[in-house]
Chain A
């Protein structure tokens, strides 16, 4: 068991969601993968669901961030006004600093 590192991102940081489809269980929806959004909240540090799903103890725990995307960044033909947004909670190891 290793102590969790301090959260890597703060509110306002631009982050890109990693694109991956491992055969294991994970909680990062495909439609945000590869997309760039903004951290709007650190939701806490939680046992890693990818470990828990496969019989592990959840360590190391993972910071969880609420990441916000403009809807127009997610869908080519988003049928609503440009101010519409989407927020989804993403564990830190699925996020990279936006290039």
Chain B
């Protein structure tokens, strides 16, 4: 352990490691934080403030959700108009019906529908608020300074970086999700998806399409991959 990290001699514990051009990529720093977190968990357990098993259960719970869960919900909405109406009006009740329990009491989840006329895009400019209860952890780019800065001021430019072109006669609506609500985008069902089963539809629903930075896959694209 380097002297730089001696907190006992550095009570305000602001280390100075100079510029880090790649946040999180400084191996010395990473190693230090890894050891620090391990020590924190050990110490908290020794003090009886938590148990290692509780932390593990929390890890398991977080990892039990992934974009596949959101995709199931979207596929259901694409194939069942009544479910879709309910999902948009009462997302918690609709999701409970599929076995998804949202955090109680907060954060709430709201679902916004993309259409040919309106395209929604979700960001959290202040931190990284994300519908984890349905999609799991956010991707790294969602937490990046570049995305958080530009998604609000140049959403169409950001969309282009994801290969997504929204026609000028459609409206782009950015949702800056910074408070007690999280947003799930219900993407537009792609053309040619009529008659597909819910499982086949779910295979078209990408994580990024539920954040609103891209469109779902098309049946032709998926067929070409097989």
Contact = CB atoms under 8 A, between A and B. Distances in A.
Interface residues of A, number: 27
A27 B173 contact: no
A45 to B, nearest CB: 10
B173 A84 contact: yes
A86 B176 contact: yes
Interface in B134-179: 152-157, 168-169, 171-179
Contact of B173 (A29, A64, A81, A85): A85
Contacts of B181: 43, 64, 66, 89
Contact of A44 (B108, B154, B177): B108
| A44, A85, A89, A91 pick with most chain B CB within 10 angstroms | A89
Taking chain B's interface residues, is the majority helix, strand, or loop, or is none over half, making it mixed?
mixed
A69 B126 CA distance: 18
Contacts of A86: 152, 173-176
A43 B91 CA distance: 13
Nearest to B167: A81
A83 B171 contact: yes
A57 B179 CA distance: 17
Given A71-B155, A80-B168, A87-B175, 17 more contacts: A29-B126, A29-B178, A43-B110, A43-B179, A47-B106, A78-B153, A81-B169, A84-B171, A84-B172, A85-B171, A86-B175, A87-B174, A88-B175, A88-B178, A89-B176, A89-B178, A89-B180
Interface of A: 27, 29, 31, 43-44, 46-47, 49, 64, 66, 68, 71, 74-75, 78-81, 83-91
22 contacts: A27-B179, A31-B125, A31-B152, A31-B153, A43-B179, A43-B180, A47-B106, A66-B181, A71-B172, A79-B154, A79-B156, A80-B156, A80-B172, A84-B156, A84-B174, A85-B173, A86-B173, A86-B176, A87-B173, A88-B178, A89-B176, A89-B178
